[in-house]
Amino acid sequence: MHLQLPGATLSLDRPVVMGILNVTPDSFSDGGDFRDPGVAIGRARAMIGEGAAIIDIGGESTRPGAVPVTADDEMRRVIPVIEALSGSIEAVISVDTTKPEVMAAAIQAGAVMINDVNALRAPGALDVAAATDAAVCLMHMQGEPRTMQQDPRYGDVVAEVSAFLAERARHCLEAGISRRRIVVDPGFGFGKTLAHNLRMMRDLDRFLALDLALLVGVSRKSMIGAVLERPVQDRLAGSLALAVFAVTRGASIVRVHDVGPTVDALRMIAAVDAAEPPDAEG
């Protein structure tokens, strides 16, 4: 499998790591750490050095209860970073946004992928994506960030999330976005309880029936804190465990804060998978 990008492809024959770069003041884990463009650019280069294949740059927090920001504010945060990285790095540049204005500006600045927690449902978003050759990531979210965790309910969470992603992918295909440009994300923590998140992770391979590249983002999330009773800064072990589990269930992309340790964990899995069987004894 591969992900089609403008003028290039990204091989997904082995799982790849997407590094999270939040240029926001209020993201749940690293809010405020990378607001300065120079610091953000340095962090992006460091993650690439650690093995990130994709850098996902976001200028608006989508944590539960997050306050929305204007498109102008979001662009002021992300565009200088994208422009500075474009053409100077080999990694894929992704923009994490729900706003069509930001999508268009980011693509013009050098981004080649749109990561949208709203699955291109905002008016004009699908048109912007279809007018480019950019890859798109469609995520499931029940509700919206300010209220999504108040009382999420499902009958069969995997079936319902799969149906939503299939429907959004159908809209993309009808708009002219080819199947190999589409990634889907079940949206762990976005309008789901702990039980929903654990069920989705356990049955993650059911999403492979969509025949689309699968992205999983659980790095440092509250589901880890709930199970392990750890604060955000102490969730590396849980994040690595879930990243490893996700790729064994078919995830092609894992979106993480801790790139180096995740890359190491995935390299170990790849080494085991590639091990030759012992010679038969005569």
Residues in the chain: 282
Task: Please tell me the distance from the alpha carbon of residue 156 to that of residue 188, in angstroms, as a whole number.
Answer: 15
Strand 92-96 relative to strand 54-58, pairing? parallel
How would you label 35-69 residue by residue, b for 16+ Cβ within 10 Å and e otherwise? eebeebbebbbebbebbbbbbbbbbbbbbbebeeb
Return the CA Rg of the chain. Answer: 18
Contact 83, 57 (CB under 8 A): no
> Which residues carry out catalysis?
221, 255
Q: Which residues on neighbouring strands pair with residue 9, listed in sequence order?
A: 4
The residue whose two tokens read 């004894």 is: 281
